[in-house]
Amino acid sequence: MKGSALGTLVALLLLVAVVAQGYWIAGWIGAALEAAGAEARAASGIAVYVEDNGIHTGIVVSKALLTPRLAGRFVAADLRDPRYARHDWVAVGWGDRAFYLDTPTWRDLSLSTVAAAAVGSDATVLHVEHVPPPIAGGSVKRVLLRPDQARRLVGFIDASLGEGPADRGYDAWDAFYPARGHYSAVRTCNAWTGEALMAAGVPMGRWTPFSGTVMWWL
């Protein structure tokens, strides 16, 4: 490689590193600033959960809380193994279709996926898993809500669901559904989780682009 080409490559790599570091710092600054509208934490009430797999966060709610529209869409026929629909809880996350389908774990992350997600996309999905009752601890946090807060949380999820058929998920118990909303480096899957919790009045940072920026508040 000629010296000028090598110099250009090094400069580009340094620029990417600076931008990535700046994004990381900005994300944590945004998360440290409490969003408006936060309500006092409930000492008792309806339990919902927030889970973190290291990349994506999701909201776990009892099926008894779902709106009729959500209950009518999150059905057994969309699962590889319909028996998992017997579970009484669903874990719901939102995000870029390609990022979700191609990046279930950190080891699946690629530069091309990151670049495409950063540019943004209207092809978004809800990832829905049928799960047993969650157990709080570690990467799973319990949040107690008043009934009106729970309705607002589920209403936010309902408003995020689009139209169209489901796609099979990673495993036998999950599926992907077309969603509403534009995904970008600003509005990430974790920013959506933060917005959902904010809609319910849960204290949360103004901008929560990373899973850690959501879980830090819980």
Q: pLDDT by residue (tens digit) across 121-149?
A: 899 999 999 999 999 999 999 999 999 99
CB burial of 3-20 (b: ≥16 within 10 Å; e: otherwise) equals eeeeeeeeeeeeeeeeee
What pLDDT is attached to residue 5? 57
Least reliable range by pLDDT among 3-7, 50-54, 90-94, 161-165? 3-7
Structure tokens at 61: 């709610």
Q: Alpha carbon of 175 to those of 78, 94, 152, 200: distances in Å?
A: 6, 12, 23, 25
User: Where residue 208 falls among pLDDT bands split at 50, 70, 90?
Assistant: very high
pLDDT (tens digit per residue) in 80-116: 999 999 999 999 999 999 888 777 666 776 666 666 6
Distance between CA 164 and CA 117 in Å, rounded? 22
β-pairing, 167-168 vs 124-131, is unpaired
Among residues 37, 38, 189, the alpha carbon closest in space to that of 127 is found at 189
Residue 150: which of 19, 56, 45 has the closest Cα? 45
- Look up tokens 């927030």; give the residue: 50
pLDDT class of 65 with cuts at 50, 70, 90: very high
Which residues on adjacent β-strands are paired with residue 51?
58, 140
